[in-house]
Amino acid sequence: MRYSQYFIPTVKESPADAEVISHKLMLRSGMIRKVAAGIYNYLPLGLRTIRKVEQIIREEMNRSGAMEILMPMSTPAELWQESGRWEKYGKELLRFKDRKDAEFCMGPTHEETVTDIIRREVRSYRQLPLNLYQVQTKFRDEIRPRFGLMRGREFIMKDAYSFDVDSAAADISYDKMYNAYRRIFQRCGLNFRAVEADTGSIGGSSSHEFMVLADSGEDAIVSCSACDYAANMEKAEARQVQVTDHAEPRPLERVATPEKRNIQEVSAFLDAATSSVVKSLVFLADDEPVLALLRGDHDLNEIKLKNLLRCESLELAPDAIVEKVTGAPVGFAGPVGLKVRIVADHTVAGMKNFIVGGNEKDLHLKNVNLGRDFSVNLFADIRNVVPGDSCPRCSDGVMEIWRGIEVGHVFKLGTKYSESMKATYLDAAGKEQIIFMGCYGIGVGRSVAACIEQNHDADGIIFPIPIAPFHCIISALNPKDESVMGAAEQIYTELTNAGVETLLDDRDERPGSKFKDADLIGIPLRIVVGNKNLVNGNVELKQRRGGEVELLPIADAMAKVRQTVVEALAQ
């Protein structure tokens, strides 16, 4: 490709609406352009990288035995009504009607469509296992599309679905996908971790998320300093270490706390540690008020509470409900005298003489004690892990917390969709059995964005060779000089013939601006052809990562480029 004829609209300034570095760099390097919130055009450079990630995904999916199909984006409402998700999915599901008033949605995921294929075609256990995948555009009307391709509304996903005779066979399919995912993200050059994840509303029994470690990540992940336990914060177990305060219970005291509503304000006002206050949060679980208690320095984990209460919906109670339940304005709720179900975190069980809200305006209670002053219906793990917590799995480690970007998700679905949609097969005895499923997603654009979060410097992107839009750029410093252009053309032809994807910068631009663009778009290898070195038969070879520059005879520079590319692609 000749740069002069190629479409790479680079931009010097950082676009105002881009918050994270990958979004800024993808816009600046001319990879993508915004069409509407969360909806993007992929320009030539961006699409080349997207296609490379897709290719790696296809190779590894095919290697694992999965087969590529392509399902439509439009999905008839009937399929979603059968699975029950038409009502449940909420506003992320973009619904529309055709000219005959028939209802459809744009697929945000394709469990229903693929289960429909299988229930129509699979009759016998002999046809299983099957794993079908597609690389396709999804639509989710995200409430806050942001960070460019990281959280779009229209985005490319690889989604795979496995079908097995029973749970044990489904576990094997799951492990194959787990291993394929490891290879995919390794080949894309990502620094990632597979972490245990909550199975949440999709149901199912087990799930892992593949997290790219990056400070800009929207997810918190927890890992052990000693063993390989790692989990999403939503799922991470807090180890129950029973710390019991053996202090004698002191008499209950009422203390005035005018306008002191949150833990920080109350503890500062009463000169007490936040860990000596008990936080009281009123929730509505399927419309029933529930009080959740936590040590003041801990945060509630809503996913854990929701799973514990087995409710369909869980939300912090609106102010009016809090006032009705506690008889006090928001900020003064507490467990003493309250007539609702009380759930407390395990850590609360060991506390003595603590502070709680007094269920009256501007009132807190001091020296409150469990048993004497109120009782709890259920103790459970309902808090977020904090750094330094003991590991729930081993005895040596402490928990560390990282930020991560979820690029992939593998999920054991069990029979959730096959049961509601009646996807069955006949076993060897001729008996009808329900198929066991798994589903497996990778965000293609999000993986590219995550890769840039991990691979950039002040000058721009530093693509790993396997997903770089081009492997090598040849900067011809004075393209009007025939000997320079001649040598550059020759290198370009030879490298291209050798399978090295090469961009020839033949533009009539100053060297400085050529170098700036090459750095910005992140091409891993650069050959600089200029008349000063060419008279001695040399060119410069520069590595984008690390910035190492070597002066080499033309043939050696080409050999090194070829070898570097071959080695990187062989991994």
Q: Which of residues 528-557 bind ligand ATP (CB under 6 A)?
A: none
Shortest distance, position 450 Cβ to ligand ATP, whole Å? 8
Q: Which is nearer to ligand ATP, 278 or 407 (CB)?
A: 407
Structure tokens that stand for 378 in this block = 């259920």
438 belongs to the binding site for ligand ATP (CB under 6 A): no
140 belongs to the binding site for ligand ATP (CB under 6 A): yes
In order, the DSSP letters of 315-374 are: EEPPHHHHHHHHSS-TT---STT--SEEEEEGGGGG--SEEEE-SSTTEEEEEE-BTTTB
Q: Which is nearer to ligand ATP, 158 or 364 (CB)?
A: 158
**Residue 286 near residue 312, CB atoms below 8 Å:** yes
Please pick, from the candidates 334, 408, 464, 469, the single residue that binds ligand ATP as defined by CB under 6 A.
408
Torsion of CA 517, 518, 519, 520, to 10 degrees: 40
- The residue whose two tokens read 């697929």 is 107
Query: In this chain, which stretch among 258-266, 311-319, 412-420, 437-445 interacts with ligand ATP, using CB under 6 A?
Result: 437-445
Q: Which is nearer to ligand ATP, 162 or 564 (CB)?
A: 162
Please pick, from the candidates 59, 142, 237, 400, the single residue that binds ligand ATP as defined by CB under 6 A.
142
Helix/strand/coil for 550: strand
Query: In this chain, which stretch among 43-51, 126-134, 286-294, 403-411 interacts with ligand ATP, using CB under 6 A?
Result: 403-411
Shortest distance, position 200 Cβ to ligand ATP, whole Å? 8
157 belongs to the binding site for ligand ATP (CB under 6 A): yes
The alpha carbon of 284 is separated from its chain's Cα centroid by a whole number of angstroms, namely 28
Shortest distance, position 409 Cβ to ligand ATP, whole Å? 3
Residue least distant from ligand ATP (Cβ): 443
446 belongs to the binding site for ligand ATP (CB under 6 A): yes
> 462: exposed, middle or buried (C-beta count within 10 Å: 0-12, 13-18, 19+)?
buried
Quote the radius of gyration of the chain (alpha carbons, Å).
29
List the one residue out of 263, 283, 234 whose CA is nearest residue 381. 234
| Burial profile 173-183: b = 16 or more Cβ within 10 angstroms, e = fewer | bbebbbebbee
Residues in the chain: 571
Query: In this chain, which stretch among 41-49, 95-103, 148-156, 222-230 interacts with ligand ATP, using CB under 6 A?
Result: 148-156
409 belongs to the binding site for ligand ATP (CB under 6 A): yes
Q: Which is nearer to ligand ATP, 142 or 297 (CB)?
A: 142
Alpha carbon distance, N-terminus to C-terminus of the chain: 26
Shortest distance, position 142 Cβ to ligand ATP, whole Å? 5
441 belongs to the binding site for ligand ATP (CB under 6 A): yes
> Where do contacts with ligand ATP occur on this chain (CB under 6 A)?
109, 140, 142, 151-152, 155, 157, 406-409, 441-443, 445-446
